[in-house]
Amino acid sequence: MTGWVAIAGLGPGNDALITPEVTETLAQATDIIGYIPYVARIAPRAGLNLHPTDNRVELDRALHALQLAAQGARVVVVSSGDPGVFAMASAVFEAVEAHPEYTDTDLRVLPGITAMLAAAAAAGAPLGHDFCAINLSDNLKPWEVIEHRLRMAARGDFAMAFYNPRSKSRPHGFEKTLKVLREECGPDRLITFARAVSKPDQKLVTVPLADATPEMADMQTVVIVGNSTTKFVGRYVYTPRSAS
Amino acid sequence: MTGWVAIAGLGPGNDALITPEVTETLAQATDIIGYIPYVARIAPRAGLNLHPTDNRVELDRALHALQLAAQGARVVVVSSGDPGVFAMASAVFEAVEAHPEYTDTDLRVLPGITAMLAAAAAAGAPLGHDFCAINLSDNLKPWEVIEHRLRMAARGDFAMAFYNPRSKSRPHGFEKTLKVLREECGPDRLITFARAVSKPDQKLVTVPLADATPEMADMQTVVIVGNSTTKFVGRYVYTPRSAS
């Protein structure tokens, strides 16, 4: 039996956003690897081994997947959203690079609905023109890099989507982000906080930057900042297709 | 009967990438509106009216959807990819803004797998760190805006995904884009051309910028440029999770 690894995106939370490609691949799997809450979304069945692990062990998890596949297992590494956007795909390739004996592993990345696009859809179309996706976590990059990217994105008049805006271990990062955004974009720019997108407790709030506070975001929140043309129409927020 | 409009993403081409949410909504529709090749993806059935229209009539198409819904129709406006990324969602909100009598229409945006994320998955994980999405079409914005955004994205060391890189009516735009990228990113930066992603004739090519030519892209191509850390591992292209 030939093993393989599929790195699959489960979307933002609602099972109606899981692609048939991912569902079919999960049905063929012998092993599911991932962060505890994502593995918990997979229905147990005979012959399926579930390997839930804690956060921040991405490389161990990736190596485990490669090892199991080398033994013939059909492994699905589950991510929320899209595995290629601030999720497990890059971690698996980092593990392959560090362990070249796994270079010939049968590896596939299966895309999913990433949080910012589900959030944008729920809000209207705030990412309807050029935009950037930025991970605000400073676990893997210094604040200076984040600040520079925020300023470049603002000066390019990109809309922006932020992942991991705030955590208990980084209470002040998002406050600094809001300060940089107000300097670059002014007080009237619209900012949307989308929490628990596509889940029963989904909550969306859009305010001008002047009224945004750090407490509006947590680790379950995706934040979207409009560009200079982003506006309300009725209860929807959208960015026109033309540049200002 | 109360009408509604759903703006739905059909993904990049493979039906296995259409979400169950979209499939279920299509099953409830009375009318399908969209660009000819996207409407052609919907199976005809009794009671379903198909309204295929030509390209570049987005606002007419959007208004037609709102008018039908006001008459009680259940309308799905189909986009390829994700409707919120350089597709029909913003056009529908523009139509609502221009025709305020439709402000209270029951409108929903249903996310889909957008081309850049399917392309990234097929290539490996080139968008695994902060990235920008840029529409290179100058139909709705001047070249100067595109060039400025390219430079800001490059100076922020974002990876980049380009939609609509090249068309018969704009043969020189992508040549100019490659020139700007070489100036900003140097000759060694990796660039991936992903054509007909997820379709039977999918083709992926990754080269250093020095070897990229305008002819490598057409309107069916999504182009992904790595950041300064993007590299090959085996046959995959990926961007590590850490900043350089």
pLDDT at position B227, please?
98
Average pLDDT over all residues of chain B: 96
**Does residue B243 fall inside a structural domain?**
no
pLDDT at position B207, please?
98
Biggest CA pair distance of chain A: 60
Residue carrying the six token digits 């799997």: A29
- pLDDT surpassing 90 at residue B7: yes
Q: Which residue has the higher pLDDT, B213 or B56?
A: B213
**Number of structural domains found in chain A:** 2
- pLDDT surpassing 90 at residue B1: no
Cβ–Cβ below 8 Å for A97 and B233: yes
pLDDT at position B244, please?
60
Token reading at B28: 């409830």
Task: Return the closest-CA partner of residue A5 out of A99, A94, A70.
Answer: A70
Task: Return the closest-CA partner of residue A139 out of B51, B235, B78, B129.
Answer: B129
Where a domain ends, among A71, A92, A113?
A113
Distance CA A196, CA B116 (A): 24
Q: Which residue has the higher pLDDT, A86 or A139?
A: A86
A178 and A214 Cβ atoms separated by less than 8 Å:
yes
A126 and A120 Cβ atoms separated by less than 8 Å:
yes
**Does residue A9 fall inside a structural domain?**
yes
The pLDDT confidence band at residue B56, using thresholds 50, 70 and 90, is confident
Give the mean model confidence (pLDDT) for residues B14-34: 98
Same domain (yes/no): B22, B85 = yes
The pLDDT confidence band at residue A244, using thresholds 50, 70 and 90, is low
pLDDT at position B169, please?
76
Cβ–Cβ below 8 Å for A17 and B14: no
**Does residue B149 fall inside a structural domain?**
yes
Q: What is the CATH number of the domain that holds B12?
A: 3.40.1010.10
Note which residues in 118-157 of chain B have CB less than 8 A from chain A.
Answer: 118, 120-122, 124-135, 140-142, 145, 148-149, 151-153, 155-157
pLDDT at position A107, please?
98
- Percent of chain A past pLDDT 70, that is, above it, reads 99
Packed helices B88-98 and B58-70: angle between N→C axes, nearest 10 degrees: 70
**Does residue A243 fall inside a structural domain?**
no
Same domain (yes/no): B72, B178 = no
Residue carrying the six token digits 């506070």: A213
Same domain (yes/no): B85, B195 = no
Same domain (yes/no): A75, A175 = no
A153 and A160 Cβ atoms separated by less than 8 Å:
yes
- pLDDT surpassing 80 at residue A168: no
Render pLDDT for A113-139 as a digit per residue (tens, 0 to 9): 999 999 999 999 999 999 999 999 988
pLDDT at position A222, please?
98
The pLDDT confidence band at residue A30, using thresholds 50, 70 and 90, is very high
Give the mean model confidence (pLDDT) for residues A205-211: 98
Q: Read out DSSP for B184-208?
A: HH-TT-EEEEEESTTSTT-EEEEEE
Chain B partners of A152 at a C-beta cutoff of 8 Å? 152-153, 155-156, 158
Same domain (yes/no): A128, A98 = no
Distances (CA, A) of B141 to A219, A244, B45, B133, B135: 35, 8, 40, 15, 9
Residue carrying the six token digits 């490659």: B178
Give the mean model confidence (pLDDT) for residues A231-236: 97
Render pLDDT for B123-160 as a digit per residue (tens, 0 to 9): 999 999 999 999 999 888 899 999 999 999 999 999 99
Chain A partners of B155 at a C-beta cutoff of 8 Å? 152
The residue type found at A94 is E
Give the mean model confidence (pLDDT) for residues B200-211: 98
Q: What is the ipTM of this complex?
A: 0.97
Q: Give me the total of CB pairs closer than 8 Å, taking one residue from chain A and one from chain B.
A: 228
Note which residues in 31-90 of chain A have CB less than 8 A from chain B.
Answer: 58, 82-86, 89-90
A238 and B62 Cβ atoms separated by less than 8 Å:
no
Q: What is the CATH number of the domain that holds B164?
A: 3.30.950.10
3-state secondary structure of B146: helix
Same domain (yes/no): A58, A160 = no
Distance CA A111, CA B117 (A): 6
User: What is the Cα gyration radius of chain B?
Assistant: 19
- pLDDT surpassing 90 at residue A24: yes
A159 and A127 Cβ atoms separated by less than 8 Å:
yes
User: What is the Cα gyration radius of chain A?
Assistant: 19
Distances (CA, A) of A65 to A32, B50, B51, B237: 9, 46, 47, 19
Full residue range of the structural domain in which residue B143 is found: 116-238
- pLDDT surpassing 80 at residue B168: no
Where a domain ends, among A113, A133, A166?
A113
